[in-house]
A and B are shown apart, each in its own frame.
Chain A
Amino acid sequence: MADTILMPALSPTMEHGKLAKWLVKEGDAVSPGDVIAEIETDKATMEVESDNGGVVVKLLAPEGAENVPVNAPIAIIAEEGEDVDADALARAAKPAEAPKPAEAAKTQAAPEHSMPEPASSAASADDAARPAASFVAAASSISAPASDGLADPALNLSITPPPETDPVLPPDVEYAGMTVREALRDAMAEEMRRDERVFLMGEEVAQYQGAYKVSQGLLEEFGETRVVDTPITEYGFTGLGVGAAFAGLRPIVEFMTFNFAMQAIDHIVNSAAKTLYMSGGEPNVPIVFRGANGAAARVAAQHSQDYSAWYAQVPGLKVIAPHSAADAKGLLKAAIRDPGPVVFLENELLYGHSFPVPKVENYVLPIGRARIVRAGDDVTIVSFSRGMEHALKGADLLAEEGVSAEVIDLRSLRPMDIPAIIESVKKTNRLVTVEEGWPVCSIGAEIARRVTQEAFDWLDAPVLTVTGRDVPMPYAANLEQLALPGPEDVAQAARRVLYRQGG
């Protein structure tokens, strides 16, 4: 059976090549793997091998030929003694319909890669329904419709907030005062009792009872098979957790702090977040990455970073950053039950804070829904995690001045409940965001983008973002305080968007 050798594409960008040298001549015998020619590509000189053995019947391209198109027949090799009509074979091999790689790439890529039209205020209603092609969502003065929790290609979002709301509690529900630390521990213990696939792993989670005592008592109840002390090797044990999740277990991977998860971020992003997509739907990766995130106190730059914006950017992850103990409990339970990877960002300084937690069975909250913590009319303040402390204290300061601030706790960062923010902005027409992380490409920047694009006409002032300062965290007490935002920063931003004296 004769083989027609075609001009190969030796790089993804190659369209033509030069037949630099023939290393065989007509009539030569060749063995599998023999180099038959040298081809000069746009990048290098490469050798062409014969896959099969046989006799070179005909060389169709002369040595030195330039611009030989990819897929043009260049030689015919037949089995020894085989009678072949070389001309007929060469004609048959004419690649009339075979697309050149570069052309194929062009035709496929053109619509997606062309620059999108800038969104203008004159954008028609059709724009909202336009599929993914436009990477800039059309500006619209109409708030997004209630989302369904699915992807929204028109807004270029792979996930939106779910329709579920917080469970309705019985009117006579009782509350127990509980620290965030206890709430997290209870959430894990309840889920471990409910599902044998759930286990906890991390540094000092078992015998030490947790570096911040979050896993206190779990080793005694569940034993060392399900509460696993790991070596101090984040990259390795995070990858191990991901592999266990591939196999259908439900790992909770505790990072002593998320600063150390930087060594493991490859497995969080490349191995956990992307696998469902690049495998075409199986395996799913049910895993929770949790631990203290953001600035603690007086531990300097390497131990004080807020990773909220880093993880919130990644399609495939869900990201949660609660403030209260009740939210910490209900959302950690939801994270453990989620069929995909969830990053759960805690805050060391909140672990000891007490909040009322409803005494109900099965307290599970929807991931991706914000909560209005304090209703108001004059300005909307949005925050999450420890930023909520500054937001609420800032609202107190504003109340003394007669300003009524509505404070929203995002609770989840991906999906992010932008529709809830827009509903509030429709009432207040002014928006301030608060977070401890850095300002560039921050959560606040994302909120400002979305609200500007989707609710521009409802704004009476620019969106202001209150953030940590754009510096590594300093150690000195006075400098550290200067690096972080506080209630007065929040109040000041609110005064500015209200165009009030002192603002």
Chain B
Amino acid sequence: MARKTTPARKSARKAKGAPAAFTRDEEFAALRTMLLVRRFEEKAGQLYGMGKVGGFCHLYIGQEAVVTGMFMARDPEDDVVTSYRCHGHTLVSGADPKAVMAELTGREAGVSYGKGGSMHMFNPSGHFWGGHGIVGAQVPIGTGLAFANRYRGNGKAALVFFGEGAANQGQVYESFNMAAIWKLPVVYIIENNRYAMGTAVTRSAARPEELFMRGAAFGIPGEQVDGMDVRAVKAAGERALAHVRAGKGPYVLEMQTYRYRGHSMSDPAKYRSREEVQKMRQEHDPIEQVKTRLLEAGQATPEELKAVDAEVRKVVSEAAEFATSTPEPPAEALWTDIYADENTARGEG
């Protein structure tokens, strides 16, 4: 087929064999980060069940390797933006777990002062720009972050996360087009967890088996990655970032991942079988993979692994304790931060 000879097709590739091994330190760093996200999200789910968290609550359980591997690959100055499934990204960008949990409970000490909630978390000091509730809207926004980086010539890149459901949005392709024309330093990360709410990717996407080709028409190289293997994610992230930093324009990474929980807390999960979920958990869990590798290589004892878990559980328990005891925003907060103050706005003076 002619398509096979296009440069995009040539540079696109499916996931290959095992990626480069992690050092013991890298394995432990990845384990700790992924466990933090996992335990945090479990606790968030419990607090939701207790009525302490309101509204919509989209958990990231199962997808931890994607955010962890990409953040291991990024430069700390690189900009990041994502959708409403944003707790993990906020945490890994360096936000205090207490402040993230307090945002979920709608408290003044939350990362967004209790005014954004589960879907609208920001951490500008960690170069994390939200937490966007309109499917796909973060894609042009992230492309704009990359535009600003190119404008300033600062060598920074932008990492734009979106789901395979958002990958059908028109504005994604408007963004691909502009990023390709202007060779913007942006990595588009499709978190393909196989279900857009309850609609399977096979029912919502044309050519669902190769979403990494979605940039091909614009000459954007793409790669399909085992998003359950944090080593594969990091390696692909490093390749993509090297490409975009070299001035070669954008790059697409399709992370094949899986979400164990429902789309949100009120998801009856009628669209997939329990066996499918359990099979993923038992055979591909990103956290268990690291633990198994460490144990089999004799790089860690079961006690050492338990100690990491205990340490993370403590952080999460303290976050939950804080988030359920710290006060709600004062009534005056209803009327603040609608308009930027001339004197305190960023970049003034």
Contacts and interface: CB of A to CB of B under 8 A. Distances in A.
B145 A243 contact: yes
Interface residues of B, number: 74
Nearest to A99: B51
A131 interface: yes
A239 B114 contact: no
B319 to A, nearest CB: 16
B303 to A, nearest CB: 15
A237 B342 CA distance: 26
A279 B144 contact: no
Interface string A76-102: 000000000000000000010011110
A287 to B, nearest CB: 10
Contacts, number: 225
B18 interface: no
A315 B338 CA distance: 7
Nearest to B176: A236
Interface stretch (B7-15, B125-133, B224-232): B125-133
Interface residues of A, number: 77
B141 A12 contact: no
Contacts of A159: 338-339
Interface stretch (B24-32, B116-124, B242-250): B116-124
A280 interface: yes
Nearest to B156: A247
Chain B CB within 10 Å, residue with most, of A46, A49, A101, A280 = A280
Contacts of B197: none
B277 A33 contact: yes
Given A158-B335, A247-B144, A278-B115, A339 B342 contact: yes
Interface in B258-275: 260-261, 265-266, 268-269, 274
A47 B266 contact: no
A236 B122 contact: no
Contact of B175 (A35, A236, A271, A286): A236
Interface string B311-343: 000000000000000000001001111111110
A51 B46 CA distance: 9
B178 A236 contact: yes
Nearest to A246: B129
A403 interface: no
Given A71-B51, A158-B339, A266-B134, A239 B348 contact: no
Given A239-B137, A282-B124, A70 B50 contact: yes
Nearest to A11: B266
Given A45-B268, A271-B132, A233 B178 contact: yes
Contacts of A99: 51
- A44, A225, A283 pick with most chain B CB within 10 angstroms: A283
B120 A43 contact: no
A43 B266 CA distance: 9
Nearest to B348: A339
B51 A98 contact: yes
B302 interface: no
Contact of B174 (A33, A233, A318): A233
A243 B143 contact: yes
Contacts of B144: 239-247
Contacts of A32: 281
Given A33-B281, A132-B334, A46 B141 contact: no
A151 B335 contact: yes
Contact of B337 (A7, A104, A276): A276
Contacts of B339: 158-159, 276, 316, 318, 340
A98 B48 CA distance: 12
A230 B345 CA distance: 28
A12 B139 contact: no
Contacts of A35: 274
B51 A231 contact: no
Interface string B95-115: 000000000000000111111
A257 B316 CA distance: 51
Contacts of A70: 49-51
Nearest to A156: B335
A249 B148 contact: yes
B181 interface: yes
B338 A233 contact: no
Interface in A44-69: 44-47, 49, 51
B171 interface: yes
B141 A158 contact: no
Interface string A270-289: 11000111111111111000
29 contacts: A6-B46, A10-B265, A33-B260, A33-B281, A71-B51, A99-B51, A104-B51, A132-B334, A153-B334, A235-B140, A236-B174, A239-B171, A240-B175, A243-B143, A244-B147, A247-B148, A248-B347, A249-B151, A270-B134, A271-B134, A271-B137, A276-B339, A277-B337, A281-B337, A283-B122, A283-B129, A284-B340, A315-B338, A316-B339
Interface of B: 42, 45-46, 48-52, 54-55, 79, 81, 110-116, 120, 122, 124, 129-134, 137, 139-149, 151, 170-171, 173-175, 177-178, 181, 260-261, 265-266, 268-269, 274, 277-278, 281-282, 331, 334-342, 345-348
Name the 9 nearest CB pairs between A and B, nearest first: A243-B144, A236-B174, A239-B140, A8-B49, A280-B113, A339-B345, A101-B51, A247-B148, A284-B340
